[in-house]
Amino acid sequence: MRNTVALLLALALALSLAACGGAGETENNDTVPGPQESTEPPQSDGPAQSDEPSGEATEPPTPDDDTLVEAPGSGPADASNITSVEGVPLITLNNGVQMPQFGLGTQIQSLENGDLGVLNETSREAVAAALRSGYRHLDDAHGYLQERGVGQGIRDSGVPREKIWITDKLWPSEYGDAYNAIDGMLERLGVEYLDLVYLHHPAGDIDTIVAAWKDMERAYREGKIRALGISNFDNRMDAFNAIMEQEIKPQIMQIECHPFAQRQETRELAEEHYIV
């Protein structure tokens, strides 16, 4: 019985997108999250298989005229060519962009001594192996201290950048100058655009959080970002409401979600606003 329960929990955790944070320090004294619990990817030749036919997109509720979000601006992101691989469904976001539903989390910074200037070899090898096996969605963050390793792993894999979904996250210490922080992400990863950028945590005062979101909107309209998101905002509704008052609404809300934290109310709230 215990083995059955453990297997079910492992499968559920592997399919959830979790955003957690602890405490640590970067070389410039920015507070960054510590390691989060993770599960190994399925032991197969590719990502978890879906019963849906390859290439078929799963559709959220259709937004009406008041909730449809403007598409990303033209720019570097126009090169994107995301398709379904290994049967992984594509989710259509409220701005028309499609995202692979299954991806690889890469928070393993404790293995690299927290030095932002050092190539994270562990991330490099994991990302290259995952992409060669069929993964096409990578989730990383400035706070994970592995952007350079993830970027090198992408290049090592031989998979064209435009076929890969790259998620990154702004740490709260960057909210005061989020626009230039996004350029820093691009430089560390060695790419020209990002598929998704989150505000990692709703930390700090509301004005600073909103200012960071407006910087993200600017980068979105310039074609540097294809989708915008908020992470862990289910823990602070005043910050969530402030973001929902801005010109561009979030496409994605990343939350901790597993059998012991099913977040039914938060998931219903996201659906109400056409947020994945």
pLDDT at 67: 62
pLDDT at 269: 87
CA distance 211 to 204: 11
Pick the CATH number of 2-272 from 3.40.190.10, 3.90.1580.10, 3.30.470.20, 3.20.20.100: 3.20.20.100
CA distance 89 to 98: 10
Residue-by-residue pLDDT tens, the chain, 276 positions: 555 444 444 434 444 444 444 333 333 334 344 333 333 333 334 444 434 444 454 455 565 556 678 899 999 999 999 999 999 999 999 999 999 999 998 887 555 555 656 677 888 899 999 999 999 999 998 888 889 889 999 999 999 999 999 999 999 999 999 999 999 999 999 999 999 999 999 989 999 999 999 999 999 999 999 999 999 988 899 999 999 999 999 999 998 888 998 888 888 888 888 899
Structure tokens at 9: 């929990």
pLDDT at 54: 45
Catalytic entry in 135, 144, 175, 274? 144
Question: Residue for token digits 């310039």?
Answer: 222
Neighbouring-strand partners of residue 194: 225
pLDDT at 26: 35
Per the annotation, the verdict on 175 as an active-site residue is: no
The residue type found at 270 is: A
CA distance 130 to 163: 14
Task: Say if residues 127 and 153 touch (Cβ distance below 8 Å).
Answer: yes
Going by the DSSP 8-state scheme, the letter that residue 194 receives in this structure is: B
Neighbouring-strand partners of residue 105: 139
Sign of CA dihedral 66, 197, 180, 192: negative
CA 102-106-107 angle, 5° bins: 130
What is the pTM (predicted TM-score) of this model? 0.76
